[in-house]
Amino acid sequence: MAGYMPGNEMEEDEIEAAEPAEPAARDVPGIDWSLASDTPLSAGPEVIQDLVKRLPNKPGVYRMMNTAGDVLYVGKARSLKKRVTNYAQGRFHTNRIGRMVRETATMEFVLTRTETEALLLEANLIKRLRPRFNVLLRDDKSFPYILLTGDHPAPGIFKHRGARSRKGDYFGPFASAGAVGRTINSLQRAFLLRTCTDSVFESRTRPCLLYQIKRCSGPCTGEVDKGGYAELVTEARDFLSGRSSKIKAQISSAMQEASDDLDFERAAIYRDRLAALSHVQSHQGINPQSVDEADVFALHQEGGHYCVEVFFFRTGQNWGNRAYFPKADAAIEPAEVLGSFLAQFYDDKPVPRTILLSQVVEEQELLQEALSTRAGHKVSISVPQRGEKKDLTDHALQNAREALGRRLAETSTQARLLEGLAKTFGLERTPRRIEVYDNSHIMGTNAVGAMIVAGPEGFIKNQYRKFNIRSTEITPGDDFGMMKEVMERRFSRLVKEHGIPGENPVDPEAETEDAPAWPDLILIDGGPGQMAKVREVLDTLGIRDKVTAIGVAKGVDREAGRERFAMDGRPGFTLPPRDPVLYFVQRMRDEAHRFAIGSHRARRKKEMVRNPLDEIAGIGPSRKRALLHHFGTAKAVSRAAVADLLAVDGISEAMARMIYNHFHESGA
């Protein structure tokens, strides 16, 4: 599927070491495709008819593939023989299925014990293989949680994403990192819990700024005793567990007691804590009385597009919502889209006990059984008809309708801008993929090249790339040389992985990404010097006539609106100051500039905080931690004698001498 994890703005160095996005035909661990056809015949129903003869009347999963080995479709069946026979008959209800069958050159099958297992395996394979004829969940980021740690005498409260490997209490999921951040900020004011790391906690000798602004109780330096801090932790845990009324009553009572004792300073503290709790709840919107734990799904279809709105309710509190826009053929029924979406959605996420839907989905009972099996507890899937639960699904449906409306409006505006761009620059067709390049550095240090991507649906952030400038032959600060390296790395890789456009054409319908691999247009933030290097690289690779490159030079006095454009076949030119296409180009250039600067700052920060101990071979996280705990700082380690180093747990005599020699040229 086309879903992406959080922080998908990958570094080019990392991409080069990554595995292919789609496994090879049988490269799925733990699955025996023993009923595969090893000798593809001519594509179409004939191939399928030949395979039907060897299929059993048992449940399982099948994959349909074309002559290139690309997976076209993954499906499951209660009886593989009966399901595949339907394809072999050549009578199809939709053009989509007809196209799919005609392109099928071979099929592979795996038997399962039950249809429930087949459904779970089907969802997993769709997510991994992303077949273009299936319903695809395009945005599949993991959800953030709030973690109240349980492995430290003074528990902290943190945002958490990923595996729950650390001991503690997890509360969520929340719809977004922003929702978690706002909640933690309010909980800090309400319960005064620490948010610093354990290492910072251990090294504090006096309270930090958070204590001064009354957002932490200062357990690191004993400003609050262990018993008092434990009470605050218990209150926070109770609040996040849904016992908010009890906690508010306790704080209100304590405030009144302090006021009666004329201790108005203490009463003010309780007043501020109550206000913080009210702030949390006021930002949660709907807080149902009859729903303790549930996910609410609503689907809206319009203009051949789908939107699924998801609301998360835990401990009777609304923890946010998120809109998804699954990729599906317009001919697929909404019930099938929502059912496939649910199976993929919960493939790697915790399943609540209750799932509320705006409409019935295909094989709802089977899906309920499969999710119960996966979760290890009973899961109820229902379509409410009245009451508060019906209000929740109606509210979600309204949000889905509005979200899809906004997306269609944005897409329509984007389409008009792309058409205007093609007309203004004389392109052969409306671009589907635009790549914009920029560099960032300070006096040549920590140089980074950046690429952002835009398409019919706006910026495609999961395809952004950054390039750490690696060449030692480039003079520091040489923008032209940096641009040349970026172009060489980007387009050499593109030619290697996807070939040259026109020489091995790709069927547009076969593209599973939101944008094609090859750009129709590249924009370079720079003038004639940068463009000369770009043309040099494109000429060397033999693709200058395959990609349109345009330079966007800063205007007179670097003033926005007076940019000068350079492209092959035309003298330099400018656009009218209020031209919508000019604003569009400026917006893309500014986004590339933002991404380049952000990447540069991240690299510079990483260099600044690099610890000298990281440069010593054999010093991993454990030994580094032991050395820092023993000596306090890396500088103190550098001054230590061999005998002092030997006193550290895990440091042998050989390792001690290696550390000493690293910091002393003369050796021990």
For residue 567, how far is the Cα from the chain centroid? 35
CATH 1.10.150.20 range(s) for the chain read: 612-663
For residue 369, how far is the Cα from the chain centroid? 29
Q: Which fold has domain 10-129?
A: GIY-YIG endonuclease (3.40.1440)
Asked if residues 464 and 9 have their Cβ atoms less than 8 Å apart, the reply is: yes
What is the rounded CA–CA span in Å between residue 192 and residue 210?
Answer: 9
Q: Which pLDDT value is given to residue 98?
A: 85
CATH 3.40.1440.10 range(s) for the chain read: 10-129
Q: What is the mean pLDDT of residues 41-68?
A: 82
What is the rounded CA–CA span in Å between residue 235 and residue 497?
Answer: 56
Instruction: State which amino acid sits at residue 228.
Output: G
Q: How confident is the model at residue 39 (pLDDT cuts 50, 70, 90)?
A: very low
Each residue's pLDDT tens digit, 309-324: 999 888 777 788 889 9
What is the rounded CA–CA span in Å between residue 46 and residue 510?
Answer: 22
Q: Which pLDDT value is given to residue 181?
A: 83
Mean pLDDT of the chain: 81
* 207 pLDDT above the threshold of 50: yes
Q: Which fold has domain 426-607?
A: Nucleotidyltransferase; domain 5 (3.30.420)
Asked if residues 345 and 123 have their Cβ atoms less than 8 Å apart, the reply is: no
Q: Which pLDDT value is given to residue 356?
A: 94
Each residue's pLDDT tens digit, 387-442: 888 999 999 999 999 988 888 888 888 889 999 999 999 998 999 999 999 988 77
Joined together, the tokens standing for residue 597 give 């600067």
Instruction: Check the CA dihedral 374-378-384-388 and report its sign.
Output: negative
Joined together, the tokens standing for residue 629 give 């705990």
Q: Which pLDDT value is given to residue 282?
A: 54
Q: Which pLDDT value is given to residue 61?
A: 92
> 3-class DSSP state for residue 320?
strand
CATH superfamily, with its number, for domain 612-663: 5' to 3' exonuclease, C-terminal subdomain (1.10.150.20)
Lowest mean pLDDT among 26-35, 92-101, 377-386: 26-35
Q: Which range has the top average pLDDT, 171-175, 449-453, 494-498? A: 449-453
* 640 pLDDT above the threshold of 60: yes
The CATH number of 294-405, from 3.30.420, 1.10.10, 3.40.50, 3.30.70, is: 3.30.420
What is the rounded CA–CA span in Å between residue 459 and residue 281?
Answer: 34
Each residue's pLDDT tens digit, 580-598: 899 899 999 999 999 988 8
CA distances from 534 to 149, 441, 449, 450, 497 (A): 52, 19, 14, 15, 20
Q: Which pLDDT value is given to residue 254?
A: 77
Q: How confident is the model at residue 521 (pLDDT cuts 50, 70, 90)?
A: very high
Q: Which pLDDT value is given to residue 452?
A: 93
Q: How many Å from the N-terminal Cα to the C-terminal Cα in the chain?
A: 58
Q: Which pLDDT value is given to residue 265?
A: 74
Q: How confident is the model at residue 279 (pLDDT cuts 50, 70, 90)?
A: low
Q: How confident is the model at residue 214 (pLDDT cuts 50, 70, 90)?
A: confident
Task: Determine phi and psi for 551, rounding to 5 degrees.
Answer: -90, 140
Nearest to 36 by CA among 96, 90, 97, 107: 107
Q: Which pLDDT value is given to residue 299?
A: 94
CATH 3.30.420.340 range(s) for the chain read: 426-607
Q: Which residue has the tokens 């550290």?
A: 648
> 3-class DSSP state for residue 321?
strand
Asked if residues 436 and 595 have their Cβ atoms less than 8 Å apart, the reply is: no
Asked if residues 328 and 304 have their Cβ atoms less than 8 Å apart, the reply is: no
